[in-house]
Amino acid sequence: MELAQLRYFVAVVEEGGFTRAASRLHVSQPGVSAQVKQLERELGQRLLDRSGRRVTPTEAGEAVLSYARAALAAVEGIRRTADEFSGLLRGRVSLGLVPGVAAGLVEVLGDFHDAYPRVEITLAEDTSERMLAALLRGELDLAVVGLGGEPPPGVSCQVVVEEPLVAAVGADDPLAAAAADGRIALAALRDRALISLPRGTGLRGVLDRACARAGFAPRVDFEAASPAVLVRLAARGLGVAVVPAGAAPEADSGLRALRITEPELTGRVALAWRTTGPPAPAALRLLSLLRETLSRGPAGPPAAGPGAAVS
């Protein structure tokens, strides 16, 4: 059994035919057909159903397919590792980010590209919940996420920003009048119209869990992906905005930022990576650089936009 046979077999399945597989692999169609037939003879099983307009795997072919892909991925991993030790690091790294963080990482990503120009970096913005799921599926290599609780099994995190959550209310709101020391209990938000980040974000997870433990469901009338927009909605009198302290309104905004206590709510942003499966060398190198850079604290890249990192 040769790697070329496995590569041709996988290509035929993915392309649905020998001609398209040959075009993708830049080889002749008879060569692809001959190699796949040789693989079938060696295994003693018919792997492909050639009777229809589209070539499809047989039951045996479906069973073999995952192993063939794993073997090809393992060989590619060996090559990448060898390249790393030769100083020829290459490959692709997929990095997920909560909205508002990308601008703060431009310098570190630029430095990484200068050092490893053969590595392709793809960036994607999404909610923390979906990015953690994408990490586990292998669709992302790394992610900067907001944590609403503990990370799922199979994911490790390094917390890089941690800040209290505040309620942004109008200066003439009864909540502000009752909070002489600038603090309010979470229970004071019961039945109030709230403005919050969407479900699936770290901040929303913190709010929902805390309210559930306090015995009520938060009444969220408005949602937006940016803490700055939440504050602007509160300034229009549309409700109480729950935002990180870093996104607290300016003194001349007509709003007051009241620290939420009993319990005190805290938003956290973390660098997350998958701990299962062999990591790609390029992803490991970027992870090391990000951990070093982001560990410098809130003054570092995550603070690109006020409170954005706890999305």
Residues of the chain with pLDDT > 90: what percent? 53
pLDDT reading at 301 higher than 80:
no
Residue 309, pLDDT score: 44
The pLDDT, as a whole number, for residue 246 is 83
Distances (CA, A) of 161 to 125, 245, 265, 310: 18, 12, 14, 8
Task: Name which residue leads in pLDDT, 249 or 20.
Answer: 20
| Residue with the larger pLDDT of the pair 195 and 24 | 195
* In the chain, where the domains are located: 3-85, 91-160+268-310, 163-267
Is the pLDDT at 282 greater than 70, yes or no? yes
| CATH entry, 91-160+268-310, from 3.40.50.11890, 3.40.190.10, 3.40.640.10, 3.20.20.70 | 3.40.190.10
Structure tokens that stand for 212 in this block: 């559930």
Q: Kindly report the CATH number that applies to the domain delimited by 3-85.
A: 1.10.10.10
- Quickly state the pLDDT bin for 310 (edges 50, 70, 90): low
Residue 60 has pLDDT above 90, yes or no: yes
What is the CA angle 268-273-278, rounded to 5?
Answer: 170
For 200-238, the pLDDT digits (tens) are 898 999 999 999 999 999 999 999 988 889 999 999 999
Inform me whether the pLDDT recorded for 38 exceeds 90: yes
Residues 6+ apart with CB under 8 A from 234: 168, 169, 170, 195, 240, 241, 249, 255
Task: Give the separation between CA 42 and CA 297, rounded to whole angstroms.
Answer: 58
Distance CA 145, CA 161 (A): 11
Read off the pLDDT band of 84 (50, 70, 90): low
Output the DSSP codes for the chain: --HHHHHHHHHHHHHTSHHHHHHHHTS-HHHHHHHHHHHHHHHTS--EE-SSSS-EE-HHHHHHHHHHHHHHHHHHHHHHHHHHHTT---EEEEEEE-TT-GGGGHHHHHHHHHH-TTEEEEEEE--HHHHHHHHHHTS-SEEEEEESSSPPTTEEEEEEEEEEEEEEEETTSHHHHH-TTSEEEGGGGTTS-EEEPPTTSHHHHHHHHHHHHHT----EEEE-S-HHHHHHHHHTTS-EEEEEGGGPPPGGGTEEEEEEETTTPEEEEEEEEE-SSPPPHHHHHHHHHHHHHHTT-TTSGGGGSTTGGG-
Compute the distance between CA of residue 61 and CA of residue 53 in angstroms, rounded to an integer: 17
Expressed in angstroms, the distance from the first to the final Cα of the chain is 49
Cα angle 192-196-199, degrees, rounded to a multiple of 5: 115
pLDDT at 112 over 80: yes
Mean pLDDT estimate for the chain: 87
Answer yes or no: pTM beyond 0.75.
no
In sequence order, which residues have a C-beta less than 8 Å from that of residue 89 and are 6 or more positions away?
80, 83, 116, 118, 119, 281, 282, 285
User: What confidence tier does 252 reach under pLDDT thresholds 50, 70, 90?
Assistant: confident
Same CATH topology for 3-85 and 91-160+268-310: the answer is: no
Level-2 CATH architecture, domain 163-267: 3-Layer(aba) Sandwich (3.40)
